[in-house]
Amino acid sequence: MRFGLQRAGALVAGLTVVIGVGFTGTALADNGAENSPAAKEAHAEALTPGTPCSVSARACVDLESQRAWLITRGAVSYGPVPIASGGAGQQTPLGHSFRVYRKSADHKSGEYTGPDGSPAPMPWSVFFADGGVAFHGGDRNRSSAGCVKLDGGPAQTFFNDLVEGDKVQVVNASLEQQSRNG
C-alpha cells in the first residue's frame, strides 16, 4: 500500500468498509474518518455556503461532484472549478485537517513519467497530504495517482492563493451531510 494514497476494501458483517490513511498516518474507515477528532471539530463549525466544507478551510474538495473551491474568511473566494481526483487503487485521501506544506511552481513527478519517458510535469503544485498529494495542473481527462488535478488557470490561482499552513478539506458531500445530520 502506498502510504497516504491508497485504500483497501474489507467485507465486514455484509457491509463494505473502505479503509484510508489519514494525514497523521492513522488508518480510518470513511465513516470512521467522519468521527475523527478533526472531523468532529469541522462538523461543529458552520459550513461555507455553497460548499461541503467548514468555514475554517482555505481549500475545499468534493470528490463526489469533482469540484474544488478556495475559501476566504468563511466565504467562497474562487470556484467551484472542475477537478480530476485519484483513480482506482490510488484514490485521493479524505480528510478535514490537511495542511499545505510545500509549493512548487514547476514540479516534476519523482514517480511517474510522461509519454516521452521524462518525469511527468505537475505545474503549480500545492502539496497538502502525505505521499506527495497535491493540487496541480494537468489533464483532467485522466485520473491522478491521488492528486487533485486542475486546469492550468485554476491550478495557478490555487498556487497563488494558498500558503503553507492553510487548511485543506477533502470530503464526499453526502457523507458530510450525513455526519452533520446524524
Instruction: State the pLDDT confidence band at 112, using cuts at 50, 70 and 90.
Output: confident
- Taking only the tens place, the pLDDT of each residue in 72-85 is 999 999 999 999 99
Residue linked to cell 514540479: 107
Distance between CA 133 and CA 93 in Å, rounded?
8
Q: pTM here?
A: 0.79
The whole-number average pLDDT for the span 41-54 is 92
* Out of 7-11, 36-40, 50-54, least confident range: 7-11
The residue that leads in pLDDT, 30 or 52, is 52
User: Per-residue b/e over 125-164, b at no fewer than 16 CB within 10 Å?
Assistant: bbbbbbbbbbbbbbebeebbbbbbbbbeebbebbbebbee
- Ordered by where they begin, the domains of the chain are 8-181 (2.40.440.10)
pLDDT at 181 over 80: no
Give the pLDDT band (50/70/90) at residue 100.
very high
Grid-cell match 499545505, residue found? 100
Mean pLDDT of the chain: 82
Instruction: Name 178's Cβ contacts closer than 8 Å, sequence gap at least 6.
Output: 34
Whether residue 34 has pLDDT greater than 90: no
Lowest mean pLDDT among 6-10, 54-58, 129-133: 6-10
Q: Does the pLDDT of residue 71 top 80, yes or no? A: yes
